[in-house]
Amino acid sequence: MQIRFSTRTTVSSCALCAATVLALTSPVAAVGPTGGGPSAIVQPKATVPQPGVLDDEGTQVRLRSGAPQVPDVSALSWVVADAESGEVMAAHDAHRRLPPASTLKTLFALTVLPSFPGGIRHTVSATELTGIGEGSSRVGVVEGHTYQVADLWRGVFLNSGNDAVHVLAALNGGWEQTARLMEAKARSLGALDTTVVSPDGYDAVGQDSSAYDLAVFGRAGLRNPDFARYCSTAHAAFPGTGGAFQIANTNRLLTGADGVAPYPGLIGIKNGYTTNAGNTLVAAAHRGGRTLVVTVMNPQKGVAHAVYEEARALLDWGFGAAGHVDPVGSLDALRPVSHDMSTGAKPGTKSGATVVASAGAPQPAESNWVETGTIAGAVGLGTGVLLLGLRFRHKRASRV
């Protein structure tokens, strides 16, 4: 097996922090594309943060003594990160550009959701439902029917409805305008691998993202109470011409559908599938005071529901390895701005009180919700109680 080691020495703005330097003196092990635990451990020459290590091929992890081995995962690309600190615990080809399928809807929501209060009512026109890709997943939006914006978002998050995405994008200035805004949002978060052609995630030439970027989007989404509530909702009623009908979240780790055991503490976030992308998933879970976010892109084992089982294995590993590994990078490393992404405040400042929401209980209109940058976790058991938001530690670095 060929072993690759990073020789990059780009230093983040907190490189001189003694705690960070000490945390990065552990060896970096890189294994080949098949994943699994490290086959060799070599002390690196540098003892300073190396954000560029996530650009290297293979699995990147810094195991301390007694740390569990990384599970054997067949996905082409994956990431495990701490949602509060943004520290990447382990990754495999983190910046490999791949089709994202409907996980791209996380970026769509980050971009569009803040613009329209959920209580707004809108009557759908025929024009808004044109151009939906053949074979697209739909929630059942129909021309001439009036929906609340909140209904459309439930259609996006639960049923992955491309019809709901098209209507919301039309409200937001149109398909191409929304794609441009999504890319600008991605860049503002330091997600540099994402190119948006079709905002719903439908396969399109030139459209791609990465496990790193999707983890950035999922982590950022948890700070928005509306995003967090929608992505954690397992079942909901959707308006129809003959009355409301029930829809279910297609994330089987959340619902336990089709023989997939629900994951304890799962918060969401979004799954996807297309012929070109294969199965993709960005998920978050909370356990023991810690929230993790994982991304799994295109498992190669070919077994039923592999994307969920590989995400399960990575979450289990992450919770078991917490405190026994040193970070190999940060989800904040490539961010070009120094302001809090949800409040506009500078890093480290507090803004508001903890917001707690029960996903199964009636909620105030979205326009009445307040975002906060001071909440240190997220708790969810299916439709259980959620702590909506995360405190981020900002580490700036240039990508090499």
CA Rg value for the chain: 20
Report how far apart, in Å, the C-alpha atoms of 162 and of each of 135, 197, 254, 347 are: 10, 14, 21, 36
What residues contact residue 303 under an 8 Å CB cut-off, 6+ apart? 309
Q: Which two tokens stand for residue 265?
A: 């503490």
- The amino acid occupying position 324 is H
Q: What residues form DSSP beta bridges with 236?
A: 247
Q: Is 198 a catalytic site residue?
A: no
Catalytic residue, from 26, 160, 210, 232: name it: 160
> Do residues 123 and 145 touch, judged by C-beta distance below 8 A?
yes
105 is catalytic: yes
CB neighbour burial string for 237-269, b if at least 16 within 10 angstroms, e if fewer: ebbeeeeeeebebbbbbbbeeeebebbebbbbb
Cα torsion 291, 269, 249, 281: sign: negative
Pinpoint the alpha helices (H) of the chain.
18-23, 105-112, 149-157, 162-171, 175-188, 211-221, 225-231, 252-255, 306-321
- Give the separation between CA 147 and CA 176, rounded to whole angstroms: 23
The one catalytic residue among 6, 12, 77, 105? 105
Q: Partners of 307 in the beta sheet?
A: none
The token pair that represents 15 in the structure block: 């490189």
The answer to whether the CB of 162 falls within 8 A of the CB of 128 is: no
Give the residue from 325, 300, 323, 297 showing the smallest Cα distance to 311: 297
C-alpha 77: how far from its chain's center? 14
For residues 90-113, one letter each, b for 16 or more C-beta atoms within 10 angstroms of the residue's C-beta and e for the rest, the string is bbbbbbbebbbbbbbbbbbbbbbb
- Closest among 167, 165, 195 to 180, alpha carbons compared: 195
Set 6, 77, 85, 102: catalytic member: 102
65 is catalytic: no
Strand (E) or helix (H) holding 374: none
Catalytic residue numbers read: 102, 105, 160
